[in-house]
Homo-oligomer: A and B are copies of this chain.
């Protein structure tokens, strides 16, 4: 069943329509009229008969016809009653432009909640409150107080900030880019980004989607919706508010590394969203994705009329994920024939300072038709004989003939203005500086790469003993223990084992004698570790002793640990000391998971010890993680070089790590009562010899939600 669309009204009522031209209630009505809305318009204002030529009504109930959409502009305290009226009238979409709700504090929040309840009762969808309104160039609706109407173009926009809406519209006017749907989300009391992603998924008018967000409403839904979009078309989002206190907090264990910015970044990666880091990037990416064909690879040709700028552009290309294309012998031969001797015929091509438009034509044609070239950057500096506008026109003409992206940097000020205008008007993304030209092609390449990898992002399923984990979690709950650590004779270990993650054999000892016996059973050398819910970092309190070779040493170590812990953390509740066999070979890594309040489980991977704790060399993904994603997680860390055959050493069992990541991901998905898991360290053996968890910490939700 196709869901009804939210923003396709046959009639609009404006509640709070005004006759005074400086009032929002006038501006919105005027915009609706001015930009040619063809549906029916009903101003509602008990004190007026007619505004802007429209017959005016006392209330919505006085309107003798159906109303599809309402725009509300009356003061906040009156809004709830009016929404109630809208509900009774049977209006389905209500845009509340009025401010003074959640954003002003508790009182406003209560009013907003009341409206949400009323809306729910009447099955009304609300946009806002505290928003700029809604614009649609395809339907010729401007139900906003924006000062202008964008051009018609198949780019859709949503923004959580009204001010950013204003800036985008104003910028678009200057830069000649147009939009189809333009939605100001405001406080998102009901309609949010996920509704729009659903609405626009199959909307041809939304060929490219831009968004500005400060908070994400429903993480898993967002990832799902966004993934569906990005399968078909680019979704470019600027996420502000990335430096929240949470993300800034110093990270001392796996858990806190997965702060909210981390989760956002992992979520964007998972969903294939093109992330803009500034409004400038949002605009630049919008242009290249809206105007140019998607790049097929990362091989770039540069055509410039000067050495210096060619060098700068090359620098930027080499530092990006792009590469300089190697031109084919045919291309080079053609350039040799057509360009003067002094010109450089290798990539970057330098057509030299006295080049007129014809030389650009030669170089651009040659590179665009070279199969080894995926995209071209044209650089122009305004020298004496440079034909700025003619060159721009040639770029426009040639770029239309080939299915490869072309971008330009015309470097300068007044002398290049007209050229830049020709380019932008004709859908060639053009900039003042080469770095931005490089950056937009890099963004395209990254999206292309995502599309190529996407089919590999399939989540596999395993044999797993779900029932046993339920039983074990039940035990923990019964005992009122939420910080499993390696306590309760390693409940956490048992849970891991039930999901196929091998765990090192261990025995907990309560006395020095028990420790010595346990060591003998497990086999020397052994490691002794303090076991306590209250001790997070065992080494810090002298809670770990390694390399113990006989019973005497084990006994002695037990005592030393107890003394040290008693001295450093006298209040810690100690359950005992766990004895492990000491594995000398292999590499230690950390695999962990933490439940993010917005996006759900975030899985983390990193090499053990200082690599995580000092260097924060870790990678993240949102669960469920596919095998390819798990592999990517491992590859992304710098330390992963140590897992490969580094300097002639042995190669480790990377596949077993990936497998562990998948199993952990399943565990987190299957049991929402698990808040956090930290396998630290997971010992990785040589290739084909597997992994083994040497220590695990698990935190459960204190108030079980289901």
Contacts and interface: CB of A to CB of B under 8 A. Distances in A.
Interface of A: 24, 27, 100, 103-104, 145, 147, 159-164, 166-167, 170-175, 212, 214, 238, 240-243, 248, 277-280, 305-309, 311-312, 314-316, 318-319, 342, 353, 381-384, 411-417, 432-436, 537, 539-542, 568, 610-611, 613-615, 617, 638-639, 641-642, 646-649
Contact of A171 (B174, B342, B413, B641): B413
B308 A212 contact: yes
A160 B167 CA distance: 38
B415 A279 contact: no
A413 B175 contact: yes
A521 to B, nearest CB: 27
Closest 5 A/B residue pairs (Cβ): A161-B308, A174-B413, A163-B306, A170-B412, A243-B318
Contact of A435 (B241, B278, B617): B278
B641 A280 contact: no
Nearest to A415: B170
Given A214-B308, A315-B242, A540-B648, A412 B167 contact: yes
A569 B333 CA distance: 45
Interface of A is mostly: helix
Q: Tell me how many chains of this kind the complex includes.
A: 2
A476 to B, nearest CB: 29
A295 B307 CA distance: 36
A149 to B, nearest CB: 13
Contact of A412 (B166, B243, B435, B638): B166
Nearest to A383: B166
Contacts of A433: 278-280
A308 B617 CA distance: 31
A539 B693 CA distance: 28
A326 B305 CA distance: 50
Given A614-B639, A639-B610, A164 B309 contact: yes
Contacts of A170: 382, 411-416
A619 to B, nearest CB: 14
Contacts of A175: 413
B241 A166 contact: no
B384 A241 contact: no
22 contacts: A159-B308, A160-B308, A162-B306, A163-B309, A163-B381, A164-B306, A167-B411, A170-B382, A170-B415, A171-B432, A212-B308, A214-B311, A240-B315, A241-B311, A243-B314, A243-B315, A243-B318, A243-B319, A539-B647, A539-B648, A610-B639, A615-B639
Contacts of A24: 384
A541 B649 CA distance: 9
A258 to B, nearest CB: 19
A648 to B, nearest CB: 4
Contact of A641 (B27, B243, B614): B614
A24 B385 CA distance: 11
Contacts of A159: 308
A167 B384 contact: no
Nearest to A341: B104
Contact of A415 (B147, B417, B615): B147
Contacts of A100: 342
Contact of A240 (B308, B411, B436): B308
A162 to B, nearest CB: 7
A384 B171 CA distance: 15
Contact of A615 (B212, B353, B568, B638): B638
A621 B405 CA distance: 42
Nearest to A318: B243
Q: Which of A175, A278, A436, A649 gathers most chain B CB within 10 Å?
A: A278
A103 B646 CA distance: 43
A279 B315 CA distance: 13
A277 B203 CA distance: 41
Contacts of A641: 614
A312 B639 contact: no
Q: Which of A103, A319, A432, A539 gathers most chain B CB within 10 Å?
A: A432
Given A541-B648, A568-B648, 19 more contacts: A147-B382, A159-B308, A163-B305, A163-B353, A166-B412, A167-B381, A167-B382, A170-B415, A171-B432, A174-B412, A212-B308, A240-B311, A243-B314, A277-B435, A279-B434, A540-B648, A610-B611, A610-B642, A614-B642
A308 B411 contact: no
B312 A614 contact: no
A442 to B, nearest CB: 15
A480 to B, nearest CB: 31
Contacts of A542: 648
A611 to B, nearest CB: 8
A246 to B, nearest CB: 13
Contacts of A238: 312
A330 B646 CA distance: 60
A319 B248 CA distance: 10
B162 A353 contact: yes
A58 to B, nearest CB: 27
A210 to B, nearest CB: 14
A172 B432 CA distance: 13
A173 B243 CA distance: 38
A312 B240 contact: yes
A362 B194 CA distance: 40
A416 B642 CA distance: 53
A314 B613 CA distance: 27
